[in-house]
Amino acid sequence: MIKIRHSFFIIGILLLTASCSSEKEIGNKNNSTIYFGGDILTMESDRPVYVESVVINSGLIVFTGSLEQANKKYPNAKKSDLNGKTLMPGFIDGHCHFAGFPGQSVGAQILPPPDATVSNIPTLIKVLKEWATPENVELTGWIFGLGFDDSVLEEKRFPNKFDLDKVSTDIPIMIIHISGHFASVNSKGLELLEINSNTTDPEGGIIRRVNGSNEPNGVLEELAAIPYMPIVLGPKSEKAMMTFLNSGQEMAMSYGYTTAQEGRAMPNTHAFLEEVAKQELLKIDIVSYIDYSIADSLLRTEWNSSSYTNHYRIGGMKITLDGSPQGRTAWRTQPYLLPPDGAEKGYKGYPAIPNDQDVIDIYEIAYKNKWQILTHANGDAAMDQMIRTMSKVQQKYGKENRRDVLIHGQYVRNDQLDELQKLDVIASLFPLHTYYWGDWHEQLIGDSLVNFISPTRSALDKNLKITIHTDAPVALPNLMRVIWTATTRISRSGKIIGEDQRLTVYEALKCITDWSAYQHFEEKTKGTLTQGKIADLVLLNKNPLKVSLEEVKDIIVMETIKNGETVFKR
């Protein structure tokens, strides 16, 4: 606690210095830098605002304005010519899983096109075999990869243990579905996880079986899979940990992240992040939301803080009420038009926590302790549960300064948006679905509903505060593609999914800067290029506001600056 208070005191002194010391004195310091010569987009207003120059010193923004004034006030500052590129605030993803970045970047690349090459099961088997070198297997003891997608695979099914046994029967294998809510394992993997014909399904999860028997087929759903993922994907040595961290962190910074979220920290996840923070290995800020099952202990530690210790802190807790819409485990009030394998007609998905009183008890812990809570809910039945349970708890504790967040909300109804607005819930929506799974959603829920997935425009029009996110490693943490999908809503087939739900490019950029900083209670220090805020910056090769919508997805990050220091340069 002493260390955290000390860090907070230092930040306070720096902010005071930036606003109260003579600007000439600051300008004489050798570590001042003036950025100029390109589009400098501050993100401070409801419409685009540009300045000629930004000056940073000691990790803070100390001036924004004309280049002439910057040169006059900071005559000894270093000069950094942007050469026509675009400078803006560093990116803050509304929701992702940073602890999954290392696995995504290090593991077998099993995403479908355009992110990788796996479009059928034979290619999947080939990619896993090629990846399974002794050096790679040594990292975790498993062959693994993140991101297979049954909706895109030519076979239109989940790979099972019989497929994965073709890769190896001696080395355990786990591959994680692109939703992050399913895993497929081989026979050796099932053996090590002690899942067999006598193993019963856990509450909130399903072990899929070979037709006509109790024999597991290798496909694990929801809580039959998720608890095993961080265990299987955990690095087994200090060398492996460094490989994981360096690769995952480099990937994040290459996409312009200066703050990343760990959106559902399990025990191993937090332990990993705590350890690398203690070793001062983090280069960007990571804020964790602890799974409700272990939150009561971890949120009572010094890591639960509004300030970072070595770039890490706990921001609150996470509750998951259902599963994945593209995986058809999202809990709906209407049946899926295309049930998953083994499900009967009329299948509506299922809840993660069936008993409302259990959900009320979890919310009450968060409200009683003034802990921010993120709620994962995709199906409208899950959001009904969220609304009716949270409403009861708010009646008792109030909603002042809560900033609770709905995560995903794919199948949210229009009437539910009104209820969420009354609850003052921030909606972190997921328009990336319109590209990756828009065509698939149309098959699952039909034409009449598909155009309302991730209804960002309706949410804004109803005065909800919103952000957007990648949910990486569900997809690559490519925030420019997120901006593109939020503003075009084009599917893989080229169909527009919900044209009237499009954001403007500027609104989408606000979602990953200013508004996301607000979601994380960090709007006083991040999210805009404003004097006194932390110098978290990203340099883009083109201005998203000055290119065609089609070009937005191809914009690349040239440089990422965290606390005034370059942490990535292309």
Convert the pLDDT of each residue in 7-17 to its tens digit: 333 333 333 33
User: In the prediction, which pLDDT does 15 show?
Assistant: 34
User: In the prediction, which pLDDT does 30 show?
Assistant: 55
Give the three-class secondary structure for 449.
Answer: helix
User: In the prediction, which pLDDT does 205 show?
Assistant: 93
At 304-330, the pLDDT tens digits run 999 999 999 999 999 999 999 998 999
User: In the prediction, which pLDDT does 109 show?
Assistant: 95
Count how many Cα atoms sit within 13 Å of the Cα of residue 211 in the half-sphere of its side chain: 3
Report how far residue 143's alpha carbon sits from residue 129's, in angstroms, rounded to the nearest whole number.
9
Report how far residue 556's alpha carbon sits from residue 91's, in angstroms, rounded to the nearest whole number.
13
Compute the residue count for the chain: 570
User: In the prediction, which pLDDT does 10 show?
Assistant: 31
The band of 179, judged by pLDDT with boundaries at 50, 70 and 90, is confident
Average pLDDT over residues 165-178: 96
User: In the prediction, which pLDDT does 234 show?
Assistant: 85
At 153-162, the pLDDT tens digits run 999 999 999 9
Residue that wins the pLDDT comparison between 238 and 523: 523
2-84 — its CATH code? 2.30.40
Average pLDDT for the chain: 93
CA 363 to centroid of chain Cα atoms? 22
98-232 — its CATH code? 3.10.310.70
User: In the prediction, which pLDDT does 20 show?
Assistant: 38
Report how far residue 545's alpha carbon sits from residue 513's, in angstroms, rounded to the nearest whole number.
15
Model confidence at 27: pLDDT above 50: no
The band of 223, judged by pLDDT with boundaries at 50, 70 and 90, is very high
Model confidence at 22: pLDDT above 50: no
pLDDT over 70 percentage in the chain: 95
pTM listed for this prediction: 0.88
Average pLDDT over residues 263-286: 95
Report how far residue 320's alpha carbon sits from residue 377's, in angstroms, rounded to the nearest whole number.
7
Kindly list the distances between the CA atom of residue 212 and the CA atoms of 158, 205, 215, 217, in Å, as whole numbers in the listed order.
18, 20, 9, 11
In terms of C-beta density within 10 A (0-12 exposed, 13-18 middle, 19 or more buried), how is residue 68 classed?
exposed
User: In the prediction, which pLDDT does 305 show?
Assistant: 97
User: In the prediction, which pLDDT does 301 show?
Assistant: 96
CB 374 within 8 A of CB 380: no
At 496-506, the pLDDT tens digits run 999 999 999 99
Model confidence at 132: pLDDT above 70: yes
Structure tokens at 59: 């990790």
Kindly list the distances between the CA atom of residue 152 and the CA atoms of 113, 124, 158, 265, 475, in Å, as whole numbers in the listed order.
9, 12, 10, 29, 14
Angle between helices 414-422 and 380-397 in degrees, nearest 10 = 20
Neighbours of 140 (CB within 10 A): 22
At 368-422, the pLDDT tens digits run 999 999 999 999 999 999 999 999 999 999 999 999 999 999 999 999 999 999 9
Domain positions in the chain are 2-84, 98-232
Structure tokens at 4: 């955290």
Average pLDDT over residues 51-71: 97
Are 2-84 and 98-232 in the same CATH fold?
A: no
Model confidence at 279: pLDDT above 70: yes
Report how far residue 536's alpha carbon sits from residue 284's, in angstroms, rounded to the nearest whole number.
9
Report how far residue 480's alpha carbon sits from residue 255's, in angstroms, rounded to the nearest whole number.
8
Nearest C-alpha neighbor of 40 from the set 15, 70, 11 = 70
At 337-350, the pLDDT tens digits run 999 888 889 999 99
Residues 331, 334, 339: CA angle, nearest 5 degrees: 75
Count how many Cα atoms sit within 13 Å of the Cα of residue 262 in the half-sphere of its side chain: 32
User: In the prediction, which pLDDT does 13 show?
Assistant: 30
Report how far residue 433's alpha carbon sits from residue 549's, in angstroms, rounded to the nearest whole number.
17
pLDDT over 90 percentage in the chain: 88
User: In the prediction, which pLDDT does 475 show?
Assistant: 86
**Which residues, 6+ apart, have CB-to-CB distance to 14 below 8 Å?**
58, 59, 60
**Which residues, 6+ apart, have CB-to-CB distance to 357 below 8 Å?**
none
Strands annotated E in 58-191: 60-65, 78-81, 86-89, 91-92, 108-109, 143-148, 173-177, 182-185
36 strand-pairing partners: 53, 81
User: In the prediction, which pLDDT does 25 show?
Assistant: 42
537 strand-pairing partners: 89, 561
User: In the prediction, which pLDDT does 8 show?
Assistant: 32
In terms of C-beta density within 10 A (0-12 exposed, 13-18 middle, 19 or more buried), how is residue 423 classed?
middle
User: In the prediction, which pLDDT does 437 show?
Assistant: 92
Strand order, beta sheet including 466-468: 91-92, 257-265, 285-291, 312-320, 372-377, 405-408, 426-429, 466-468
Average pLDDT over residues 37-65: 97
Stretch (H or E) spanning 457: helix 456-461
